[in-house]
Structure 1
């Protein structure tokens, strides 16, 4: 598939996105659309930076941009006819209606999309294989050549400097001896020779000065190219890796390990280039000849040194990352592990004493303070056990890292708020240490912050905390104020996130019909099909508001379905045996014209975390009716699997639409247990449907819902104790 340069426009928020929908119209040539997006980029890139007291100039520039944009769209519309022209004119009207009174808003939206155009948002993982990896390698190769050339030029200039310094010293000695010559003729000849040598020396000094100036320009060029590449590596590729890592926590797949190894190689190469340039600059600064020191050289050199030092520190600071994030649902007094890493290998030549890394937990407010001041803090929002570790270098893997493998949170300080909002409070782990590189005299405090975590004290809080983390991982902006998230998001985005949560790394995904069912359930009202792109959902609708006619929220219902599927139905779900997300009335409609015994599986609307079977039943008088078996919960399926139950029911024959049930389902294979006493006959649990007789009043059928019972075929009543089960603890284990 061709990769066009305008997907970043799809990051525009509604209704602005609709105004640019013509960019997906295949009737408009790729060249025209490419030219249009490049024009927008050029307008934004060429805009000067305005300070706060220049807001009027910024607004004027935005207004000019809006007028130019409208004229350009009108010219495009004039070149087409029919539907394309109508669509372009419609876009013009929409833009005028939306932004005529506030052109700055459009300008800022486009600018934000431009800044984040290389970042996958909100839920898609991008791999380095999809990026311009070859371009980075080519740029690094060019930079190495430039640094090598600068090094050679610097060495040649040093030799010339030594030669000219010797020449100047000799001339000074000759001048001091000139007055001591008594013979006037010899004195004149010697003076003439000195003058000639001085002229030649002056020429050589000017040549050296020009070479020095050229070398300084090469330094500037090298620093500029290095800064551009470093910005791309840190703010594009490393940022994308961090987003991939965050989304991996939300079940997305990402080749995190291999990507990070590649990024580390780039960081090491950048550090080598920056270090060599820094050393070369130091040599030039220290190489000064009397009479050849231009007054403007020193400030320029100092500026270059300041820039390269800034690159050096920025690279070190940003290369300190959380390689393995802590659990984002953090339970008090529960052991967990996390790993931080410095992406510079041994290239930094850190002092042989292993640096000590400390970890603390900080509140959202404290994280905001750290971001605004760019300084780590000693403030903490709780207490850890085993919160210190030594950064170690592994020669085999070439990694500087420290793993905290027995850390525990023993205390947390929460802000005062209503009890129901406790799980909305987010914290983070702050890692910090001091980099000491004696070779370059560097002592730099370095810190990094983990993804946000929700602290719980009991398993029953995990459900709500999980909703908070999913929303944050999927919809947090790239460069946000910790830990702000939008209150309203596009439903289609959320539907993809829910599909990711349910299906994990598999190739299975929710169908359009299943997403439509979830949409109507979450929003509590009928919606058009297909779902429009501008349909949104609020955070409160997602996990706070009770569904109409129920006593639970949408997230509580979906979470329990997800938990049931992962623990008991995963293979059936991935094999496509479960429709699952379908209304009861729709299931009846599907089965209306089917043969008796045809059935389908759907998640219950009313019973949390349960699945039911709808099937066609033929009565004694030959009539067909749709019956629904009483929903099976996790407790039921822990006693006997769903596949075994379906195969037990003689009333069920074909999975909708026409798959024989013995083809669609296989019995759960259990390890054979040898009886302790061969005098007894083994027993097995079987499921049985309690179908009411035709004379049973409809009121007793409870909306055609049947009870499903289990019967025992055993040799004695004393064998019943074999099937006693412990109470099923819903959150006895962490839900993954």
Structure 2
């Protein structure tokens, strides 16, 4: 079945097919010549091979002939719109492609390939169709539009050359007319001979003929000027639409991705493509601007009055094309590498600024300087309101803040990297209400002046960095990061600096927490993790989809019964995991986000010695081990949380190895299988000596009363560890059932201080110590041992 017929069978593809075609290749031509188009060897033509040009020319001729024949088939008034459209297409093909038949081949090949892509997507399973956009590549659409504008610019260039040639011919002919007039004046004398009279009559006849020709040419020149002005107006509209798509959609999208990358999301490396598009736009706009200026020059050389009621478009076109160039230059002055968004006073920081069209417009021929200053939220607002004074205002002092842009010929990049900036002073604004220092936002303002076209045009440009929060102490980092996360995640494009919503839906916040955690640790959050976090900040609910979280709830108000906010707790967990637990978190050994009650329920269904790791609810940046033990009664115990300070002394894996009470990582993985790859020490073997000394090894141990010792590991030298807390519910196991009873912890434990360390070392718990140590004669002991005190 023909490709065109196939694509019409899929409604999804049919809805998108219109976007493939443009004035370069109207969809009506594709429809009425469908079979002929698909029968031609377009794909085998190499557009960079001169030997294939004759084949491309032949196909163009055949296309025009077939199209002309098709026009003849549509007779009658009812077919007038179709006939007119096909006639316009015929004229367009002749005008656009006769000098460059390869361009037609490229256009048709691109259209046919995008049709195939649409058909393949439409044939895919329904669920895949939903996840795959049924639209041609945005990049392909932009490339096609750029090609169209290149073709239009080339066409107008040829038309302009023809207009110049016609005007020069007119001027030469006009000079001939002046010569004839001079000759006639010379023949004017009182004595008129027959020969002079005949000569004068001949000259007057010739003059009349020349003047008729001049009048006709003047009319043609005038019509050419009107036509080319309308053509430039159409080209300008196309360039405006294309530039809007590149700058207001694609570049804004890249900036949005850059902002999301501040929260840990991956940044699409699409800046080089954007630079290529912007450079092509700059080239096209500059060429059309020069052409319009040339038309104005021709008009000044030979003024011809426009017909009454006809508007002179040239002055307006010149202003519009210059404005388009100005918009392109100012919009493509961007911050390529953002400064740190939590900016510590007196710390060095870096940033990179780039002009995407610098190489194409030869801005680098007069390398511009760039200045960086820090401004407040209010000053940024004034700047966007075109307040002239705002460019000279600042809210602090930055060292090493001025530099010259450099051009890299290999990449065509014009940029500058400030490597050693340092914020020395900061002026804070009056805070609003309960706003904290870490909620105050600043930004870095970059300014420069660009000369284009040999100082023909001078553009004053500036751009703002993403918001930054200035801190003076490390303990402000956590809350500053909360401000930045909220701003990066939920600010809208084109906002008034630096407005953000007061509350957002939980799913949106959960997505950002997941992105942040994944970027920091390597693995994101599961659905169960996210549900646990939702319950922590919003309370218990069956559905969190439409529940909102406010900024105040996120990082202003403390969690119920705690002295820290939700974000402070989450950030502490993230930091602990990133710095000490990344590997076991990534391989799934840490469940982490689970409540104490849920952990109990899970463990009480498992074998003695089964344990899991969960983040502490009560201590920021803590992780606890919960395990099940059976001393005739089934009970769940929780170790006091470990923190970064603990893990800087001894790692998690080695601490787990020390504890013989722990046998299986939930649900049933032997602990050595789960953690042996992370062991970094072996307490069972003697430590190496250093300068004659034996290095001791710290070992964790759980006191015996808190769960019977397991024999899964070799006995180890015990040392009392941090306090631990038992589960509040103790279960008594009987055959066939698990019965719950409440019991006080004190009733089931023995005072740990009554267990003597020597009993363990000697292996004899029945040894009788003297009641009174004062009865021991130490001197006698020393004498019997032949020891002499000195």
TM-score, normalization: structure 1? 0.75
Counterpart of 1:168 (choices 174, 177, 183) is 174
Q: In structure 2, do the counterparts of structure 1 residues 228 and 703 end up closer, same or farther at CA, with 3 Å as the change threshold?
A: farther
Q: In structure 2, do the counterparts of structure 1 residues 261 and 442 end up closer, same or farther at CA, with 3 Å as the change threshold?
A: same
Q: In structure 2, do the counterparts of structure 1 residues 662 and 625 end up closer, same or farther at CA, with 3 Å as the change threshold?
A: same
- Which stretch shows the higher mean deviation, 367-376 or 233-242? 367-376
Deviations 1:265-314 (A, max 9, x none): 11111110000000000000010264633167773101111110011000
Q: In structure 2, do the counterparts of structure 1 residues 250 and 291 end up closer, same or farther at CA, with 3 Å as the change threshold?
A: closer
Determine if contact 1:351/1:437 at 8 Å carries over to the other structure. Answer: no
Segments of structure 1 that go 5 or more residues without pairing to the other structure are 1-28, 39-125, 716-736
Counterpart of 1:540 (choices 523, 530, 552) is 552
1:474 to partner: Cα distance: 0.3
> Would you say 1:593 and 2:608 are equivalent positions?
no
> Would you say 1:409 and 2:430 are equivalent positions?
no
Aligned to 1:501: 516
Deviations 1:350-405 (A, max 9, x none): 26342111111100000001111175510111111111111111222221111111
Q: Distance in 1 between matches of 2:275 and 2:138?
A: 16
Aligned to 1:384: 398
Q: Distance in 1 between matches of 2:184 and 2:564?
A: 106
Counterpart of 1:397 (choices 405, 411, 432) is 411
Determine if contact 1:252/1:505 at 8 Å carries over to the other structure. Answer: no
TM-score, normalization: structure 2? 0.70
Q: Distance in 1 between matches of 2:354 and 2:163?
A: 40
Q: Pairwise mapping of residues 3-82 of structure 1 onto structure 2 (< 5 A)?
A: none
Determine if contact 1:477/1:485 at 8 Å carries over to the other structure. Answer: yes
Counterpart of 2:280 (choices 269, 273, 277) is 269
Q: Pairwise mapping of residues 382-531 of structure 1 onto structure 2 (< 5 A)?
A: 382-417=396-431, 421-439=436-454, 441-504=456-519, 508-523=523-538, 525-529=539-543, 531=544
> Would you say 1:146 and 2:149 are equivalent positions?
no
Q: Distance in 1 between matches of 2:370 and 2:397?
A: 16
Aligned to 1:577: 589
Determine if contact 1:604/1:612 at 8 Å carries over to the other structure. Answer: yes
Deviations 1:434-467 (A, max 9, x none): 1112436111110000000000000011111000
Counterpart of 2:324 (choices 311, 320, 328) is 311
Q: Distance in 2 between matches of 1:680 and 1:658?
A: 42
Determine if contact 1:351/1:438 at 8 Å carries over to the other structure. Answer: no
Q: Distance in 1 between matches of 2:661 and 2:302?
A: 104
Q: In structure 2, do the counterparts of structure 1 residues 598 and 671 end up closer, same or farther at CA, with 3 Å as the change threshold?
A: closer
Aligned to 1:179: 185
Q: Distance in 2 between matches of 1:636 and 1:491?
A: 34
Q: Distance in 2 between matches of 1:411 and 1:562?
A: 31
Q: Distance in 2 between matches of 1:351 and 1:502?
A: 42
Instruction: Please tell me whether Structure 1 or Structure 2 has the larger radius of gyration of its CA atoms.
Output: 2
Determine if contact 1:317/1:446 at 8 Å carries over to the other structure. Answer: yes
Determine if contact 2:637/2:706 at 8 Å carries over to the other structure. Answer: no
Q: In structure 2, do the counterparts of structure 1 residues 343 and 411 end up closer, same or farther at CA, with 3 Å as the change threshold?
A: same
> Would you say 1:242 and 2:255 are equivalent positions?
yes
Deviations 1:120-178 (A, max 9, x none): xxxxxx99x99511111111111111111111111111111111111112112212322
> Would you say 1:366 and 2:379 are equivalent positions?
yes
Aligned to 1:635: 645
- Partner SS state of residue 377, structure 1: helix
Q: Distance in 1 between matches of 2:233 and 2:520?
A: 47
Q: Distance in 2 between matches of 1:570 and 1:701?
A: 37
> Would you say 1:659 and 2:672 are equivalent positions?
no
Q: In structure 2, do the counterparts of structure 1 residues 691 and 604 end up closer, same or farther at CA, with 3 Å as the change threshold?
A: farther
Segments of structure 2 that go 5 or more residues without pairing to the other structure are 1-9, 20-131, 709-725, 727-741, 762-790
Q: Distance in 2 between matches of 1:637 and 1:701?
A: 30
Aligned to 2:627: 615
Aligned to 1:4: none
Counterpart of 2:369 (choices 356, 359, 362) is 356
Determine if contact 1:351/1:436 at 8 Å carries over to the other structure. Answer: no
Q: Distance in 2 between matches of 1:608 and 1:424?
A: 21
Determine if contact 1:644/1:667 at 8 Å carries over to the other structure. Answer: no
1:34 to partner: Cα distance: 7.5
Determine if contact 1:647/1:667 at 8 Å carries over to the other structure. Answer: no
Q: Distance in 2 between matches of 1:220 and 1:274?
A: 12
Aligned to 1:692: 705
Q: In structure 2, do the counterparts of structure 1 residues 618 and 694 end up closer, same or farther at CA, with 3 Å as the change threshold?
A: closer
Deviations 1:661-696 (A, max 9, x none): 222212535499995657554543222112426899
The count of corresponding residues between Structure 1 and Structure 2 is 586
> Would you say 1:285 and 2:300 are equivalent positions?
no
Q: In structure 2, do the counterparts of structure 1 residues 694 and 477 end up closer, same or farther at CA, with 3 Å as the change threshold?
A: closer
1:211 to partner: Cα distance: 2.1
Deviations 1:535-588 (A, max 9, x none): 111000000001111111111111100110100111111111111111111111
Q: In structure 2, do the counterparts of structure 1 residues 505 and 149 end up closer, same or farther at CA, with 3 Å as the change threshold?
A: farther
Higher relative contact order (CA 8 A, sep 6+): 1
